[in-house]
Amino acid sequence: HGYGGGMGIGSIPLITKRGLAIAYLEALVALEVATGESHDELGYLLIEGVVEPGTAPQMQKQFRDKLRRFLKTSQQYRADRMLTALPHNFLHEQALVLSRLGDHQQVLRIYVRDLKDISEAERYCDRIYKEATAGAGMHAHAAAGLSSASGGG
């Protein structure tokens, strides 16, 4: 499943070049024809939408919500580059990208030490544990299938 940021509640008005570019890139992503570079560009445009001076607070919130959803769901943006592009005070977004990079210690440091959000840290640990055990279960199931197919077990 991918990023479904385009249509629906909180869409960005198509009255600016940025708004049009975001809508176009979201459509490419939704149709699963976007390149990695397109995913990166969408992330950069969403970041710009939040930090651009003069952006109305409600628009900043819409850009930031889309950015978080994008960072959480897209598997094609280059996480190292996105991490560099994020402002230092975008801690939640940094945690999303660090999670994608597999840096669980840094993610927990952000949730616990910087954001003081113990419940978010617990949810993160639960999610990572479930993903790890689901993956291990699939590997064990596949190994059992191979074992019985070869006559062993």
Q: Is 2 exposed, middle or buried (0-12, 13-18, 19+ CB in 10 A)?
A: middle
H/E segment holding residue 42: helix 36-51
**Residue whose token pair is 């596949």:** 142
Give pLDDT, residue 8.
40
Give pLDDT, residue 1.
42
Give pLDDT, residue 34.
79
DSSP letter (8 states) at residue 32: T
Q: What is the pLDDT along the chain (153 residues), one digit of tens a residue?
A: 445 454 443 566 666 788 889 999 999 988 888 788 999 999 999 999 999 998 889 989 999 999 999 999 999 999 999 999 999 999 999 999 999 999 999 999 999 999 999 999 999 999 999 988 887 765 555 556 555 555 554
Give pLDDT, residue 6.
46
